[in-house]
Structure 1
């Protein structure tokens, strides 16, 4: 009896699905932990580092905006061609760009050199995903995982990444405080040591990418069957002209179905709204807000956001269980909406305990929409479209997010930091209600396939019943 309940708990937590997953799935999750650990460490100090180099808050906001714009272009190119050029190769290239960015940030202080390194390389202003990694990895996870287990795998994929961010924030904060208080290092030298660590984690991520097998690559499209050469006419009759020949460039671009295009347009509009709101209050600006308004030291700052990230990570497990009962869309909306409200309330208190309380309350549901959103997106598009569509959506989100940091920088320059938080929370609440209105009753490809299967079974049963009724009783 005890064993039965233990197994049930493990199933609810998704641990059985994770344990039974392929080694490539585990490597992808490990890669994400390493990457987000590095992002967390660098995000904690990014704004403070640029401020220590003498740059104004408006210029820092512009820096973050241009970084996201550059990432948009690079991510679009890499994700569109990832399936054709090889997912493993693109993941490896991204890891090397990440290491390169860390080295340049550790060596130089010039604004424009750092900006070029951030645009061409991989530096996360928000502590969240940047670059082509997530779109490729989520598409690969869907490719390697049965539909029934995707929610569990995506939940653990998200949880592991958030745990990486949490540890990166905590370790970075206390290492910085140790170097400044105990070793007597100046602030700039200490921050540069963190970026050397960032580069090292880029190399570790490259090693993990190279360990992936060929199973992660997209399935090649089968060419359409040709006419039997024995029965084909000696002279062409024009049939070969029915299919226009594709250029070499067009042949490696993905084909997106008309149905998926409509879905993607709706998702892009809604996700862009949410991403713009996230850009107004990215983690790097939030950490700077607490450092600037309440004078929190790096160690305590890291501990605060370590705590919130761990809470967010644990909440993701609950999201997977809730989604199995209420569906992905409702789980996304009703868990994300409270976090939007608490985000808007963060700058209102003048006392540190109350401001921290709102940050912690926000973290309780902040990330519960991540895994259901990934599972929903993987289910509503066709398998051969996933990498490209996830890449396009991530590019749209990054583009929408890119303007936010600059606006926040200008507001901070004029002592209107609080406006960014209130606007971000309000826009996120609008996104939640929009998702509920547009996609609450939307059926995925798996849902439709199951309906067709059930309809076919009912039809066959009715036919067998009719045949049985029409059969001559004497023949029975």
Structure 2
């Protein structure tokens, strides 16, 4: 019985998480805290701006400009994260997150909040924005053996999704309590949520500074040249390679082979992200709130349920990926969710709309852990932070256009078009991933094949010629 229980725990990756380092556990805890805050604010972001008499078109513009600003800041921070220090960048991001929460809690001015959302960290979609995920996933990759990465990424994703679920249900029922029991007006109740958002930013800062030095990437040093042994002008000095500046040494080097892979992935991820931008979580929650009149408490419970289902499905994805591979798992689990997303607005019935939303949640996150494991293996270790940052930039740039388009469609009572288009584009992305990367071998796969070939060659050379 004990053996069976251990095998079950190994299958779902819990043994790998338990045996991981303290830094891995701290990174997972940070993600829970961050996504809890994102979930709480995302539930009411559109409703808060709507309560401040902001038009749906301007709400869409707000979300678009926020994503564009976050894209630029994320690119800068992730490019220099390994050079300046991952721990420092994570701590800085946490402080910006807290700052933006305070501004949203104190100000009702559209442009002030927009500036805070761009410079700070406010998630319009309930998903990852800012530099956090790229840095954390790169760090997890170098803290974790390749064989255990799928398990760790599955739990990392599950914990984050559980955080979003907890944040949404807590925010919904706290607002419901403040409005019904304390007689607070809706704006005051919404602002209380943003005070909580700021508090979680401070908590994330404390978790960031608790990380050890092991999370940092290997530093590149400028070689010190001895002036007495340096070649004189005309004595080979003109042939010496010019030394790189400190600024250039902070930038990562990406191999030519990786550039081709990164370019293909950026195109596919951009397509998927644009589709996600058409139906971000904040717009989906507002769709159910406006079309069916669901109050904040019940709305929070609905999306808590879908998030918990999505979180639980991630463990199954890790198990499937061990058997059929990361790419196949990504495609065959994500494709059904794209179809159900397109079907959500079709029936003019709350039960059927909720059914399609729940069915979508059963598979929508099953591609997350396999994708992270694939990305960690498909590029070289020294490239991971920058490459994952580039992926985030490509996704955020494409996603930024979606909310504005959805806002315009919502203003003209064409909300359903956004859902149908998003689902269709996501299906195209899935088929594209399968076509381009089916059977693709990672660096680690090729290294293992070369090692086995060398071992076989040594065995052949060691054979007695008379025995051949």
State whether TM-score is above 0.5: yes
Q: Which runs of 5+ in 2 are unaligned?
A: none
Which residue of the partner structure matches residue 219 of structure 2?
Answer: 220
Give 1:139 deviation, angstroms.
0.3
Superposition RMSD in Å: 1.7
Which residue of the partner structure matches residue 436 of structure 2?
Answer: 438
Give 1:242 deviation, angstroms.
3.8
Which residue of the partner structure matches residue 120 of structure 2?
Answer: 121
For residues 448 and 182 of structure 1, what CA distance do their matches in structure 2 show? 63
Which residue of the partner structure matches residue 404 of structure 2?
Answer: 406
2:462 aligns to what SS in structure 1? helix
Q: Deviations over 1:185-235 (max 9, x none)?
A: 0000000000000000000000000100000000124778999x99x9888
For residues 428 and 96 of structure 1, what CA distance do their matches in structure 2 show? 34
For residues 246 and 217 of structure 2, what CA distance do their matches in structure 1 show? 18
Which residue of the partner structure matches residue 185 of structure 2?
Answer: 186
For residues 75 and 280 of structure 1, what CA distance do their matches in structure 2 show? 21
Which residue of the partner structure matches residue 48 of structure 1?
Answer: 47
Q: Deviations over 1:107-136 (max 9, x none)?
A: 000100010000000000000001000000
Q: Deviations over 1:7-53 (max 9, x none)?
A: 11011010110011000000000000000000000000000000000
For residues 380 and 239 of structure 1, what CA distance do their matches in structure 2 show? 39
Kept after mapping to 1: 8 A contact 2:406/2:418: yes
Give 1:463 deviation, angstroms.
1.5
Give 1:441 deviation, angstroms.
1.2
Counterparts of 1:255-266 in structure 2, within 5 Å, are: 255-266=253-264
For residues 237 and 149 of structure 2, what CA distance do their matches in structure 1 show? 43
For residues 394 and 198 of structure 1, what CA distance do their matches in structure 2 show? 23
Which residue of the partner structure matches residue 238 of structure 1?
Answer: 236
Which residue of the partner structure matches residue 338 of structure 1?
Answer: 336
Counterparts of 1:25-424 in structure 2, within 5 Å, are: 25-221=24-220, 237-238=235-236, 241-424=239-422
1:54 aligns to what SS in structure 2? coil
Give 1:3 deviation, angstroms.
1.4
- Structure 1 runs (4+) deviating above 4 angstroms are 222-227, 232-236
Which residue of the partner structure matches residue 14 of structure 2?
Answer: 15
Closer, same or farther in 2 for the Cα pair 1:51/1:443, shift >3 Å? same
Closer, same or farther in 2 for the Cα pair 1:254/1:403, shift >3 Å? same
For residues 144 and 238 of structure 2, what CA distance do their matches in structure 1 show? 38
For residues 272 and 163 of structure 2, what CA distance do their matches in structure 1 show? 23
Q: Which runs of 5+ in 1 are unaligned?
A: 471-476
For residues 83 and 318 of structure 1, what CA distance do their matches in structure 2 show? 33
Report which of the two structures shows the higher radius of gyration computed on alpha carbons: 1
Which residue of the partner structure matches residue 473 of structure 1?
Answer: none
- Range that drifts further, 446-455 or 412-421: 446-455
For residues 237 and 90 of structure 2, what CA distance do their matches in structure 1 show? 41
Give 1:468 deviation, angstroms.
5.0
Q: Deviations over 1:323-353 (max 9, x none)?
A: 0111110000000000000000000011100
Closer, same or farther in 2 for the Cα pair 1:85/1:224, shift >3 Å? closer
